[in-house]
Amino acid sequence: MEQIDEVAESLKLLGDKTRLTMMALLKHRSLCVCDLVELLETSQPNASQHLRKLKAAGLVSETRKGQWIYYSLNIEDKPYIQAILGCLPSLQEKINQVKNDCD
């Protein structure tokens, strides 16, 4: 039952369009909050709140590079999440438009 609870909680998180889009973007590469703010056309506090929930669920991890924190997927042990992300359309073109002002 514990595993079902974990899967249910993960799927509930991905039921939010913003978080699902974040995961689809992170499928391509690590991104910082400023990248996600630009890509999602949202505020920094809103993006950070969604990232905090994804991190708490163990779906993303963070790496500090200088003053910036980059987020990446942490789903190697979650094949059901990999399957869902595999069904989503590619957002690579959208990521290519990021200015990368964070660097």
Average pLDDT over residues 98-103: 63
Separation CA 45–CA 66 (nearest Å): 20
- Look at residue 97 and tell me if it is in a domain: no
CATH classification of the domain holding 60: 1.10.10.10
How many structural domains comprise the chain?
1
Amino acid identity for residue 77 in this structure: D
Average pLDDT over residues 19-31: 97
- Look at residue 38 and tell me if it is in a domain: yes
Residue 80 pLDDT = 94
Residue 29 pLDDT = 95
At 97, the pLDDT band (50, 70, 90 cuts) reads confident
- Look at residue 65 and tell me if it is in a domain: yes
Q: What is the pTM of this model?
A: 0.91
User: Which residues on neighbouring strands pair with residue 62, listed in sequence order?
Assistant: 71
- Look at residue 98 and tell me if it is in a domain: no
pLDDT at 8 > cutoff 90: yes
- Look at residue 50 and tell me if it is in a domain: yes
Residue 102 pLDDT = 61
- Look at residue 45 and tell me if it is in a domain: yes
